[in-house]
Copies of this chain bind each other. A is one copy, B any other.
Amino acid sequence: MNIQETLKNSFQIWNKLNENEKSELISASKVINFKKNEMLQSRDASCLGLIILKKGIIRAYLASDAGKEITLYKLLENDICLFSAGCIMKDINFDINLICEEDVELILIPTEKYNQILEKSTVISNYASDILSSRFSDTIWILEQFVFHSLDKRVANYLIEHIDDDNNLRITHEKIANELGSAREVISRMLKYFENESLIKLERNNIKVINLKKLNKVAES
Which residues of A come within 8 Å of B, CB atoms?
Answer: 62, 64, 66, 68, 70, 89-94, 118-122, 125-126, 128-137, 139-144, 146-149
Contacts and interface: CB of A to CB of B under 8 A. Distances in A.
A133 B133 contact: no
A142 B90 CA distance: 18
A56 to B, nearest CB: 23
A64 B145 CA distance: 10
B134 A135 contact: no
A136 B92 contact: yes
A143 B89 contact: no
A135 B93 CA distance: 11
Contact of A92 (B62, B66, B70, B137): B137
DSSP class of A's interface residues: helix, strand, loop or mixed? helix
B64 A149 contact: yes
Q: How many chain copies?
A: 2
A144 B61 CA distance: 11
Instruction: Please indicate which of the listed interface residues A92, A119, A126 has the most CB atoms of chain B within 10 Å of its own CB.
Output: A126
A54 B119 CA distance: 29
Contacts of A148: 62, 64, 66, 68, 70
Closest 4 CB pairs of A and B: A90-B130, A91-B134, A64-B148, A89-B133
A87 B142 CA distance: 20
A143 B149 CA distance: 14
Given A64-B149, A122-B120, A143 B144 contact: no
A19 to B, nearest CB: 18
A33 B108 CA distance: 47
A62 B143 CA distance: 10
A189 to B, nearest CB: 11
A46 B148 CA distance: 24
A137 B135 CA distance: 12
Given A89-B129, A129-B89, A146-B146, A137 B64 contact: no
A45 B150 CA distance: 27
A132 B128 CA distance: 11
A133 B91 contact: yes
